[in-house]
Amino acid sequence: MMPDRIKGYAFAIIATIAFSNIYIFSKAALNEVHLFQFAFYWFALAAALNVGWLFYRRHNRFLRVLTGAQKRVLLLLGVLEIITTSFFFLAIQIIPDPAVTGFMGNLYPVILTGMGVFFLKEKFSLMETVGAGLALVGAFVVSYQGGARLSELFIPGAGVVLLNAIFAAIASVVVKLNVRNMTPEIINTNRSVWLLGFSVLLVLFFRPSLAIPLSALSNIAIGAFLGPFVALLLIYYSFHYIEVSKSSIVQSTKVVFVLIGSVLYFGSFPALHQLLGGLLTLIGVLLISAAKLPYFNRARQASKN
């Protein structure tokens, strides 16, 4: 029998590798099809997989006992996921190298930690402060391209990544504050169904052709299976066996897998300053995540006594 701690880390590692593939396969598909075509097929597959898994696990029975407050939270999360995911895939489409998008995506834990201070009354430790500073500097270096005007200072898509990180952090705070006794299957299915509904509305309004190349459909199928289904579920499952902070440390290494996948799949490699900036963001996120470990929390409490 595998110990629970090993099981938790295994879930986190597999989830991290699976999640990193979102950057690769979505970018490959978006190189061939319009964003609206991509969204329709991506979330149709994700919703089908999640709804099927919900019924297979018989967690659909929990839907009948959801309280009014929980239903309102799921509604709010659905709206936030539409905004967050739209910015995410827009950034993937705009920024040529998925590794650069992954490096800049490390703004999310920085913003989430900051929101924890303001909304959850959490305290910033010295390690978290240093980590946040390194991650912010790294994100600046990654996105910086020079230019005489402010609009030319950063690479196209940098602002979109920032908006994605802000709304993703807001969604995480909403979950932390409000979601109780909801299974990963319900949360994940709620997300994918809302995104599918939004994608269908886009198709009905803008009427893009739904005929897409088989290669794009293959990339969408692989990405939708690994990302919105496998990765998110396994992240939630990892929380059952190890602390969120330890799972977050494993997840923060996704940029390494995105970089490897980008080189292997597209033959692209970030510029030297982007690579160095990405390394800074990785170190910063690792420090933020490590600061939440029980060992450092005990050390911080001991220093106050």
Where are the strands (E) in the chain, listed by range? none
The share of the chain scoring above pLDDT 70, in percent, equals 88
Cβ(103)–Cβ(255) below 8 Å: yes
Q: What is the pLDDT of residue 23?
A: 94
The residues, ordered by sequence, that sit 6+ positions from 100 with a Cβ below 8 Å of its Cβ are 142, 155, 270, 274, 278
**Which helix (DSSP H) or strand (DSSP E) does residue 300 occupy?**
helix 294-304
Q: What is the pLDDT of residue 121?
A: 67
Q: What is the pLDDT of residue 18?
A: 92
The residues, ordered by sequence, that sit 6+ positions from 44 with a Cβ below 8 Å of its Cβ are 196, 199
Alpha-carbon distance 12 to 145, whole Å?
34
Q: Give me the mean pLDDT over the 37-44 stretch.
A: 96
Residue 147: pLDDT band by 50, 70, 90 thresholds? low
- pLDDT higher than 60, residue 273: yes
Alpha-carbon distance 197 to 39, whole Å?
10
Q: What is the pLDDT of residue 59?
A: 87
Mean pLDDT of the chain: 85
Q: What total of structural domains would you count in the chain? A: 1
| Of residues 112 and 98, more confidently modeled | 98
| Of residues 103 and 246, more confidently modeled | 103
Domain that holds residue 67: 4-304
- pLDDT higher than 80, residue 4: no
**What are the pLDDT digits (tens) for 225-264?**
998 889 888 887 887 777 666 777 787 788 888 999 998 8
User: What pTM does this model have?
Assistant: 0.86
- pLDDT higher than 80, residue 179: no
Residue 214: pLDDT band by 50, 70, 90 thresholds? very high
Closest-CA residue to 182 (of 298, 261, 73): 73
- pLDDT higher than 60, residue 305: no
Closest-CA residue to 9 (of 207, 198, 241): 241
Q: Give the CA angle between residues 203, 209, 213 to the nearest 5°.
A: 120
Q: Give me the mean pLDDT over the 292-296 stretch.
A: 63
Q: What is the pLDDT of residue 148?
A: 58
Residue 94: pLDDT band by 50, 70, 90 thresholds? very high
